[in-house]
Amino acid sequence: MQKLSKDAARRVKGARVVGLGSGSTVAHIVREMANLPNKGSLEFVPTSLQIKLEAVKIALRIADESRIPDIDIVFDGADQIDGEFNMIKGGGGALLREKILISAAKKVIIVADESKFVKSFNRSVPIEVHPMARSLVHKKLTEFGGKSALRTLDKGYPFVTENGNVILDTTFASIPDPKKKEAELKSIAGVLEVGLFTRRADVYYKAKVDGTFEAITF
């Protein structure tokens, strides 16, 4: 992962504002940022407290939300990537913030283990929902052919996002058109964001079990 992280971090060249997604793969890249000769001139916008703490630990300069429209490049992971390079994200619960950064960024870099690359999606889609709308959204998702379950913590308490919302992990028999499904789900009142990401990234890093990696560029 160190070689991959170093290769990914070099793509910051020429950027001024950097978006940071969430998860362990992004944490590796953030640590590599400590070695950038120009790190003092960069501003970073993290999506989660976990990544913010990693960035602060190595003295990266944290920017406020007003800099989001100016993001030059964003680094993030993925839970699954299908054959058309659509993604499912949100396993860590930061899908709303991640989608905001990805939609704003001029360039998107995705890093994932090779096991995350699949022909078609076969896992649940995280859906961030306002707590007041949980029952309504659950009913609507059932009408749309989905089987949803409230994400909970180990002791049974509901998982609450950093935005104060809950997540319904929802399984569909198939998703032949992710962009259409994303729009359909977002039309439900109370749905804040959907873990279907249909913007194609500029680079996908595929990390292999033997420590090597492949960079797929568009």
What are the angstrom distances between the C-alpha of 213 and each of 128, 159, 195?
Answer: 32, 33, 25
Residues 6+ apart with CB under 8 A from 4: 28, 111, 205, 207, 213
Strands (E), 60-207: 73-76, 80-81, 87-88, 107-113, 125-129, 146-150, 166-172, 191-194, 196-197, 203-207
* Given 32, 98, 128, 182, the catalytic residue: 98
Q: Which two tokens stand for residue 2?
A: 């160190």
Tokens of 143: 């009408």
What is the distance, to the nearest Å, from the Cα of residue 94 to the centroid of all Cα atoms in its chain? 7
* First-to-final CA distance of the chain: 22
CA distances from 179 to 47, 50, 74, 140, 164 (A): 23, 29, 21, 18, 26
Q: How far is 103 from 197, CA to CA, in rounded Å?
A: 10
| 54 assigned to active site | no
Q: Where in the sequence numbering do the catalytic residues fall? A: 98
